[in-house]
Amino acid sequence: MPSGRGPKPSESTLRILCGKAAGMCQFDGCDKRLFYDAVTLSQFYTAYVAHIVASSPKGVRGDPVRSHQLSDKLENLMLMCDTHHKLIDDSKTGARDYPEAKLLEMKKQHEEKLDTICKLMAIPETEIVTFASPIKGTIPVSVDYKLAANAVLPSRKPSSLFERFAFDIKSVHAYKSGEYWDDVSKQLEEECFQIKRFVERHANAHLSVFPIGPIPLLIKLGETLGDKINIDIYQKTRTPDTWAWQSDVITNEFTLEERTTDNESRIALILALTSDISEDRIMAINNFGATYKIKAQRNDVDSIKSSADLSEFWHLYQSVLDNIVNRYGQNCQVHLFSSIPVSAAFEVGRRFMPKVHPQIVVYDDDGGFFEALRIGE
């Protein structure tokens, strides 16, 4: 049976090891750069090649047969700093605290992490846009940038580690007042102007929008940004705590109920996705002669769980607007009552076609429906 140390790794094996480790210590949580000093930036070599199964049968984690078999094999080698190389090879505690399986898992996780990072270098970038406005004008909300940035992976990567477009819109006016909605709409348009200027300078810019706020204002946000900018919209879920879509496929069905007349300018469009909306409440606002109601088969806060669900909804919504124009003409007025997720609200505004669709009066519900704002004026 052979004794002493096994064969040394070849130069090519060591180069591959350094490459897979990206020149960093592979001990879990260390990631120390081993080829320059972090303070002085002086270049020097502080890397150690550590054996998982010791090169000698008498070494820490040594084996009578496998030590020599694995001594020069890439899968048995780790790149480490001086501190952690000494730690795992300590004659008293190394084998106990850092057995073969534990070190193999460290090596595997380190190399998989770097592989993921390298793959991200090839995927397209996106600008993260966060938008927050108090619910009912008083309930504070916020968007966690890190959660938003994680949601775009792995199909896209954030263009920056920091927030470039973070909008926080508030008003001192009473929530149901015209002054409130004039104020927040003006703020929104000023903020969106920054985005449009950015897109003008970066023709291939892509936006990922993460909004929380009153539904009418999110509709206004979608209308103001429009459909000429390349945008992905996201919505927050409580469980799990994420902005990522919860499915990749269609999970719901959306249907249309309509009551129409041949000549009617008083038109109500009801969007009942997260909860139903009684038509009695709508008729209390105005005796609408025509009503269109889009309903979700699954009527709850998760009525839209995927971008495929969202696409199904807005295609139906847009076709309803087209039908209204064909029946009543562009000069009619649509009164919009909604109980919808934020992603649907954004798309309602974004899919509005100026000079094609009729003006839309958008209502909000706060102890009763009231007119909040208009799009298409």
Please check whether residue 158 is in contact with residue 128, taking contact to mean a CB–CB distance below 8 angstroms: yes
pLDDT tier at 70, thresholds 50, 70, 90: very high
Nearest to 121 by CA among 152, 153, 157, 147: 157
What is the pLDDT averaged over residues 154-165? 85
pLDDT tier at 44, thresholds 50, 70, 90: low
Distances from the Cα of 154 to the Cαs of 116, 250, 339, in angstroms? Answer: 9, 20, 31
Task: State both tokens at 79.
Answer: 């790149």
Give per-residue pLDDT as tens, 352-371.
Answer: 999 899 999 999 999 999 99
User: Does the structure show a pLDDT above 70 at 57?
Assistant: yes
Radius of gyration of the chain (CA): 30
First CA to last CA distance, the chain:
89
- Between CA 330 and CA 337, with CA 332 as vertex, the angle to 5 degrees is 115
Query: How much is the mean pLDDT over the chain?
Result: 92
List CB contacts of 221: < 8 A, sequence separation 6 or more: 131, 188, 192, 209, 211, 213, 346, 349
pLDDT tier at 179, thresholds 50, 70, 90: very high
Higher-pLDDT residue of 113, 306: 306
- In angstroms, rounded to a whole number, what is the distance separating the alpha carbons of residues 87 and 103? 12
Instruction: Report DSSP state, residue 293.
Output: E
The per-residue pLDDT for 266 is: 84
The per-residue pLDDT for 295 is: 97
The per-residue pLDDT for 149 is: 92
- In angstroms, rounded to a whole number, what is the distance separating the alpha carbons of residues 369 and 377? 21
The per-residue pLDDT for 263 is: 64
pLDDT tier at 66, thresholds 50, 70, 90: very high
Domain extent listing, the chain: 11-120, 125-233, 254-375
User: Does the structure show a pLDDT above 60 at 190?
Assistant: yes
User: Does the structure show a pLDDT above 90 at 260?
Assistant: no
User: Does the structure show a pLDDT above 70 at 1?
Assistant: no
Give per-residue pLDDT as tens, 200-231.
Answer: 999 889 999 999 999 999 999 999 999 999 99
- In angstroms, rounded to a whole number, what is the distance separating the alpha carbons of residues 111 and 17? 10
Cα atoms in the 13 Å half-sphere on the side-chain side of 282: 24
Instruction: Report DSSP state, residue 124.
Output: P
Alpha helices, H only, 8-79: 11-21, 66-70
Higher-pLDDT residue of 336, 331: 336
User: Does the structure show a pLDDT above 60 at 274?
Assistant: yes
User: Does the structure show a pLDDT above 60 at 40?
Assistant: no
Higher-pLDDT residue of 244, 123: 244
Distances from the Cα of 43 to the Cαs of 11, 18, 33, 78, in angstroms? Answer: 20, 15, 10, 21
Give per-residue pLDDT as tens, 82-109.
Answer: 999 999 999 899 999 999 999 999 999 9
Cis status of the peptide bond prior to 358, with omega within 30 of 0: no
- In angstroms, rounded to a whole number, what is the distance separating the alpha carbons of residues 66 and 57? 8
Query: Phi and psi dihedrals of 299, rounded to 5?
Result: -100, 85
pTM: 0.73
User: Does the structure show a pLDDT above 60 at 2?
Assistant: no
Query: Phi and psi dihedrals of 17, rounded to 5?
Result: -60, -45
pLDDT tier at 258, thresholds 50, 70, 90: very high
Look at residue 166 and give its three-state secondary structure.
Answer: strand
List CB contacts of 316: < 8 A, sequence separation 6 or more: 254, 256, 294
Nearest to 87 by CA among 154, 32, 14, 127: 32
Query: Among 2.40.10, 3.40.50, 3.30.1490, 3.40.1350, what is the CATH number of 254-375?
Result: 3.40.50
pLDDT tier at 118, thresholds 50, 70, 90: confident
